[in-house]
């Protein structure tokens, strides 16, 4: 990172990833992918292994830090942590007060992401098409899977962190949505808001373990089956559009163990139908405007990421 602007830009990408990870239905992995740092992120996480630990023992922290691309990871994760800590309450409030507008913005962002990532598939053979539609099927299954309830014991929180972080680094699969599906989302958002460090530490430990294991698997797949893996990730994103469609009618609702309302089943509606059925203003023009803003934002990130890759 020779230019002073590059660490700042990387920090802002971390902030964007953190903001996306807070929202159920949007993945920080999507932001990493469209901003051009996805494979570097996986490679840097993968570099934290026994060999790098041996370097730490034999040659000191400097050699270890360089081997794991430490500056990159530090700046990015500081951005993610700052974003989650500062935006968790704001995002929760916005989703509660302005759900249509928030989901519309992310819908536009993900539509543009699908287009961008689809263009990264080197060849469109039957294997890539099959992988793409399997990815769509997986995301749709997650989208309509009924939520379950789990306890808040420490080992459940640990496993929830490991599961959520795997989803968080997959474009299109949201760790927050996984937490919502297993009934842990309200608990973790409250833990961030209340600064419950004991609970957050257990969750973070689970995230760390899950991240180290899953990043290796995903990096291995990208190295050996790049086109097929990209096709699956594109399918994940495409299927996730059903999760974040702004106009939904709740058909079945329950109150979870934390007193939060959880939608069990819903159906997707067009804006005019949504207004007629629910009596709620669909805010069509504002929603479309925010969708377009999401599209433009992704195009800007893609342009910046493309220029950076050419400079490397």
Q: What are phi and psi of 195, to 5 degrees?
A: 55, 50
Q: Residue 254's pLDDT is what?
A: 57
Helices marked H in 60-151: 61-67, 70-97, 99-118, 126-143
245 neighbors 239 (Cβ within 8 angstroms): no
252: pLDDT strictly greater than 70? no
CA distances in angstroms from 240 to 25, 120, 121, 142, 144, listed in the order given: 7, 19, 19, 9, 11
Instruction: Read off the pTM.
Output: 0.67
Nearest of 79, 90, 267, 88 to residue 186 by alpha carbon = 88
Contacts of 21 (CB under 8 A, 6+ apart): 27, 28, 80, 84, 168, 174, 175, 176
Q: What is the pLDDT of residues 187-234, one digit of tens each?
A: 777 777 777 888 889 998 998 888 888 888 887 887 888 888 888 888
Top mean pLDDT of 83-97, 108-122, 172-186, 206-220 is at 206-220
Q: Which two tokens stand for residue 133?
A: 């539609």
What is the band of 4 on the pLDDT scale with cuts at 50, 70, 90? Answer: very low
Encode pLDDT of 138-178 as tens digits.
Answer: 878 876 766 555 566 778 888 888 888 876 677 666 677 67
pLDDT score for 238: 85
* Strand partners of residue 265: 252
Q: What is the pLDDT of residues 274-289, one digit of tens each?
A: 888 888 888 999 999 9
- Specify the number of domains making up the chain: 1
The three-point CA angle 119-124-130 to 5° equals 110
CA-wise closest residue to 28 among 40, 15, 10, 39: 15
User: What's phi and psi for 213, nearest 5 deg?
Assistant: -75, -45
Please give the pLDDT value at position 3: 45
- Token pair, residue 238, equals 């495409």
pLDDT at 11: 92
What's the mean pLDDT in 15-31? 75
pLDDT at site 54: 86
- CA–CA gap between residue 146 and residue 278 (Å, rounded): 22
Helix (H, G, I), strand (E, B) or coil at 115: helix
First to last CA, the chain: 10
- Name the residue among 241, 122, 104, 225 with its Cα closest to residue 172: 241
Tokens for 120, please give them.
């990264």
Segments of 158-287 assigned E as strands: 248-255, 261-268
pLDDT score recorded for residue 292: 92
Is the pLDDT at 1 greater than 50? The verdict is: no
Owner of token pair 């795997």:
166
Token output for 77: 């994760």
**Are 27 and 175 spatial neighbours (Cβ–Cβ below 8 Å)?**
yes
What's the burial of 283, exposed, middle or buried (CB within 10 Å: 0-12/13-18/19+)? buried
> What is the model's pLDDT at position 55?
85
Q: What is the predicted pLDDT for the residue at 30?
A: 74
Identify the domain containing residue 283 by its residue range. 5-311
Q: What is the mean pLDDT of the chain?
A: 79
Residue 132, pLDDT above cutoff 50: yes
Q: Report the DSSP beta bridge partners of residue 261.
A: 255
Bridge partners (DSSP) listed for residue 248: 268
pLDDT: which is higher, 247 or 249: 247
């Amino acid at each position: 990172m020779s230019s002073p602007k590059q660490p700042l830009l990387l920090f802002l990408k971390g902030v964007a990833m953190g903001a996306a990870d807070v929202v159920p239905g949007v993945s920080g992995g999507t932001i990493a992918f469209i901003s051009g740092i996805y494979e570097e992120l996986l490679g840097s996480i993968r570099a934290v292994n026994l060999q790098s630990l041996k370097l730490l023992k034999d040659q000191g922290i400097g050699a270890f830090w360089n081997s794991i691309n430490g500056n990159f990871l530090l700046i990015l994760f500081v951005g993610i942590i700052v974003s989650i800590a500062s935006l968790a309450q704001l995002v929760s409030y916005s989703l509660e007060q302005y759900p249509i507008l928030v989901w519309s913005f992310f819908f536009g962002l993900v539509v543009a992401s699908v287009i961008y990532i689809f263009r990264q598939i080197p060849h469109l053979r039957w294997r890539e098409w099959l992988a793409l539609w399997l990815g769509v099927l997986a995301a749709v299954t997650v989208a309509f899977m009924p939520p379950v309830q789990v306890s808040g014991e420490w080992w459940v929180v640990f496993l929830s962190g490991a599961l959520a972080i795997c989803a968080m680094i997959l474009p299109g699969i949201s760790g927050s949505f996984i937490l919502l599906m297993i009934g842990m989302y309200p608990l973790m958002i409250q833990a961030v808001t209340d600064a419950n460090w004991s609970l957050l530490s257990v969750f973070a430990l689970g995230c760390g373990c899950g991240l180290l294991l899953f990043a290796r698997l995903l990096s291995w797949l990208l190295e050996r089956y790049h086109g097929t893996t990209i096709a699956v990730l594109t399918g994940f994103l495409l299927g996730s559009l059903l999760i974040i469609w702004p106009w939904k009618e709740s058909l079945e609702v329950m109150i979870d163990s934390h007193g939060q309302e959880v939608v069990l089943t819903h159906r997707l509606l067009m804006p005019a139908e949504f207004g007629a059925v629910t009596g709620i203003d669909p805010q069509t023009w504002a929603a479309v405007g925010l969708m377009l803003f999401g599209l433009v934002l992704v195009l800007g990130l893609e342009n910046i990421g493309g220029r950076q890759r050419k400079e490397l």
